Amino acid sequence: MAYFKKNYNNNQEEEPKIMRAPLPKGREVIGIIEQRYGGNKMQVNCVDGKERIGRVPGRLKRHLWLRPGDVIVIEPWELDDAKGDILLKYKPNQVAWLKNNGHLETEDDEF
């Protein structure tokens, strides 16, 4: 049986790392969650100027927890452009990277 040494240095704060954020590819669009409707659906304001109803796919349901104000990547459906699947949630340091490089422009400074 393998034994692991306990790490007692949990009090040290790590500096936030600047991470490069994965950019949307193909039909994917960056959006900000405005309101949750319940279940796995929510209202998303996209960077391209459209409002969409975002849905969290079943494979991400337990792994992706979303709140209003989160920045996400949404892929619009082929048949209905007003709806889409949520693929990714950006972390706060990734949101800062997106803002610094001009990929995300918001009117309010929530992030």
0.85 exceeded by pTM: no
Question: 2.40.50.140, 3.20.20.70, 2.60.40.2140, 1.20.1630.10: which CATH number matches 29-100?
Answer: 2.40.50.140
* DSSP string for 4-72: ------TTSPPPPP--PPPPP-TT-EEEEEEEEEETTEEEEEETTS-EEEEE--GGGTTT----TT-EE
Would the pLDDT of 14 be above 80?
no
- Tens-place pLDDT, residues 22-55: 888 999 999 999 999 988 999 999 998 999 999 9
